[in-house]
Copies of this chain bind each other. A is one copy, B any other.
Amino acid sequence: MAPDDSEPNEGSEAYPLSPEFVAQVGEALEAGDAAAVLALVEPLHEADIADLIGLISPEERPKLIAALGPVFNPEVLSELDETVRAEVLETAKPAELAAAVSQLDTDDAVDILEDLDEDKRQEVLDVLSAEERTAVEEGLSYPEESAGRLMRRGLVAVPQFWTVGQTIDHLRESDDLPDDFHEIFVVDPRYHPVGAIPLNRIMRAKRPVAVADIMETEPDLIPATMDQEEVAHIFKQYNLLSAPVVDGSGRLVGVITVDDVVDVIQEEAEEDILRLAGVSDVGLNESVRDVSKTRLLWLSVNLCTAVLASWVISLFDVTIEKLVALAVLMPIVASMGGNAGHQTMTVAVRALATRELMPANALRVVKREVLVGLINGLLLALIIGVVAGVWFSSPLLGFVLGWALVINFFVAGLCGVLIPIGLQRLGVDPAVASSVFLTTVTDVVGFFSFLGLAAWILL
C-alpha cells in the first residue's frame, strides 16, 4: 500500500473472498487460464489462499493448486482446513512433504505430520535432516492437544548474569534467532527459566543494566504436558502474550505465543457449541459418509430417549382414548420444559467451561435457576392454561396443563444445572452428554405430570 492511498474504510480489505472474487477464480479455472488464476490469487494472504482452496468445489481443488505452483507454499498448507489438507497430503510425495515441513516452525510441522498415517509419516521423517527430525519427533512425543504440541522451540534465552548491552549485542550478531519473538527469557545454569523480559523493556533500559534487575521474576511456567484448554485459560486470565514451556525437570523447552492460543480458544468454544447439539468437531469439507456416521450415534441415543417418552405416554393410552385433547396438548408441556431446561443447561455448560461456575457458587446458581424456572413456569402456565381452557371449553383441563408446566419448569431448572455439574464431577464432558439426559428428564416428567394429573383430576 503506497503511503498516500490508505483508505481506512475499505471494507473489502477485510473480505478478500467476496462471492464475485470466488466466481472470477472459478471462471478462470474452468477456462484453464492458469495465469489469470495466479494473477487473482497471488496478492492474497496465505490464510486467505487456504480459505479459498477450501471454499471452491473439491473437483476444482487440484486444478487450483496446480495453477498456484510455488504460491501454494508450506504456510498455505499449514493454514488449510484439516479435511482439505488430508486430501492434499494424500497425493503429495514424501520428499515434497519433507521439503514443505522443513520450512515451517516446529509447531506447524508437527500439526501437519500428526495427521499423516504411520507409514507416510515415517517416510517423511526419514527424508528430513537429523536436526529437524529430532525437533519434530520431540514435538510428536507430547500428548495431542498438549502445550508441547502448541509450542515453538525457537526462543531467545540469556543467562542471569548478562547485561542489557550483552543481550542486545547477542541479538544483533546471532544468526540463529527465531523469526519472531516478543520476550526474552532469563535462565539459570540448569536452563530453568527464572524470569522474562518484554522486548520493550529491554529497549528502554541502558546497556549496563543487568537483565536480572529488569526481568519479571515470576513467569507463568507452562508444563509441556498441560492440556491446551488449560493453557488457553491461563493466557486469557493473565493476559499473556507468550509464556515459557518447561519439561518435567523444569528445563525451558519452548515458548507458546498468544496467536496459537487464539486458535485454541476459538476451537474450544466451538467444540462446546457443536457438542451441545451432538455434532463432533467436523468441518464443512467432511464427506457425507463421515458426517452421517458421527451424527448417527447421538441420534441413536436420542431415539432411545424418544422411545422412553413414548412408553410413558403409552401408560396413559386409556386416558388419552377418553380425552383426545390430552394428545393435542401434551407436546406443549414436554417441549416447553425442554426449552427452559436447555436455557439453564447452556448457561451452566459454558460457565463450567470458563470456570465461572465452581463449587463455591454452585448452590447459589442452582437456587437462582430453580427460581427462574418457577417464575417463568408460573407466568407461562397462566397464559397457556387460559388458552387451553378456552380452546377445549374446560377450565379444569387448562388448570391441569398449567400445573404440569410449572412442575416441568421446576424440574428443568433444577436438572439444567445439576446434570452438567454432576457429569463434570464424574469426569464426563458436560457439553457432550448433558443435552440427552436433560431431554430425557423433561420429556418423561412433562408427559408423566400432564397425563398423570389429567388421569387423576379429569377422569
Using CB atoms and an 8 Å cutoff, list the residues of chain A in contact with chain B.
1, 3-4, 6-9, 13-15, 17, 19, 22-23, 26, 45, 47-48, 51, 54-57, 81, 160, 168, 171-172, 177, 180-182, 188, 192-194, 198-200, 202-206, 217-218, 220-221, 223, 225-226, 230, 233-241, 246-250, 258-259, 261-263, 265-266, 269-270, 272-274, 276-279, 282-284, 288, 291-292, 295-296, 298-300, 302-303, 305-307, 309-310, 313-314, 317, 320-321, 324-332, 334-336, 339-340, 342-343, 345-347, 349-351, 354-361, 364-365, 368, 371-372, 375-376, 379-380, 383-384, 387, 439, 443, 447
Contact A360:B261 (CB < 8 A) given known A248-B8, A331-B313, A384-B303:
no
Question: How many Å from the CB of A32 to the closest CB on chain B?
Answer: 20
Contact A331:B239 (CB < 8 A) given known A206-B172, A270-B269, A324-B317:
no
Interface pair B343/A298, CB less than 8 Å apart: yes
Interface pair A339/B302, CB less than 8 Å apart: yes
Question: How many Å from the CB of A448 to the closest CB on chain B?
Answer: 13
Interface pair B343/A47, CB less than 8 Å apart: no
A221 to B13, CA, bound (A): 9
- Inside 8 A of A443's CB, which chain B residues have their CB? 331, 335
- Inside 8 A of A309's CB, which chain B residues have their CB? 331-332, 335
Interface pair B230/A14, CB less than 8 Å apart: yes
For A48, give the chain B residue with the smallest CB separation: B237
- Inside 8 A of A238's CB, which chain B residues have their CB? 45, 47
The 22 listed contacts between A and B (C-beta, < 8 Å) are A3-B192, A4-B188, A8-B250, A23-B360, A45-B237, A55-B361, A171-B203, A172-B204, A180-B198, A241-B258, A261-B262, A277-B347, A279-B346, A282-B347, A288-B375, A291-B368, A295-B376, A299-B339, A299-B343, A300-B380, A317-B325, A326-B327
